[in-house]
Amino acid sequence: MAKTQGPPDIASPAVAASADGKRKLKLIVLVVLGLLLAVGLSVGSTLYFVSRGESKSADVAADTQGAPLRQAAVYETLMPAFVVNFSNTGGRQRYMQVSVALMSRDQAALDALKEHMPLLRNQLVMLFSSQEFASLTTPVGQEMLRQQATASVQELAQREIGKPAIEQVLFTNFVLQ
C-alpha cells in the first residue's frame, strides 16, 4: 500500500527555527550574565584586598611611629684572613683559615674598636686555635665557634670602649685542612 503524502508542513521549519533562536538567545544571556558576575566578583575582591592592605600598612605605620628606626648595618672585614693551626686527637697538625667580618649598627663604635684591632685579632687567634678539629667539621660546631667569637669581641669592646659595639661576627670564608 502506498502511503498518501499530504502537502508539506510549512509551519514546522519556522517553529523549529524560532525554538532554535530562543535557545541561542538564552545561551547568550546566560554567558553575558556569567561574565558580568565574574567581573563583579573580581572587582569586589580586588577592592576588598586593597582596602585590607591599606589598613595593615596604616597599622604598621602607626606601630613604627612609636618605635625607633633601626639603623643600617655596617660591616668591617678583618684583613688578612685568620690562619691558625691546632692539634688533632690523632697527633696530626690541622689548619684552619677563617675570613671574618664584624657587623655593627654604630659606625662610631666600630671606628673606636678599630683602635684595638691588634688586641681583637690576638683574642680571635687564641679562640680559633683552641678548638677541636672534630667539632669544627659540623655546621653546629662552626656556628658555636661563631657565637663564641661574637661573645669574645663584644666582651673586648665592652671592656675597652664601654659598649658592645658589634652585633655579630660573621664568617665569610671557613676552610679546614
Contacts 24+ apart (CB under 8 A), 137-146: 137/176, 142/171, 142/174, 146/170, 146/171
For the domain made up of 74-176, give the CATH fold: Tetrahydropterin Synthase; Chain A (3.30.479)
Give residues with Cβ within 8 angstroms of 165, minimum separation 6.
104, 106, 109, 110, 112, 113, 153, 154, 157
What percent of the chain stands above pLDDT 90? 43
Q: In which band, very low, low, confident or very high, does the pLDDT at 10 lie, cut at 50, 70 and 90?
A: low
Q: In which band, very low, low, confident or very high, does the pLDDT at 86 lie, cut at 50, 70 and 90?
A: confident
pLDDT at 164 over 80: yes
d(CA 103, CA 147): 13
Neighbours of 57 (CB within 10 A): 10
Average pLDDT over the chain reads 83
For residue 80, what is its C-alpha cell? 688578612
pLDDT of residue 77: 93
Q: In which band, very low, low, confident or very high, does the pLDDT at 5 lie, cut at 50, 70 and 90?
A: low
Q: In which band, very low, low, confident or very high, does the pLDDT at 94 lie, cut at 50, 70 and 90?
A: confident
d(CA 26, CA 166): 74
Q: Give the pLDDT confidence of 19-77 residue by residue, as tens digits.
A: 788 888 888 888 888 888 888 888 888 888 888 766 665 555 555 555 567 789 999 99
* Between 94 and 152, the higher pLDDT residue: 152
Q: Give the pLDDT confidence of 138-151 residue by residue, as tens digits.
A: 999 999 999 999 99
pLDDT of residue 44: 80
Across residues 74-98, what is the average pLDDT?
86
pLDDT at 122 over 60: yes
Residue with cell string 655579630: 168
Give residues with Cβ within 8 angstroms of 71, minimum separation 6.
105, 106
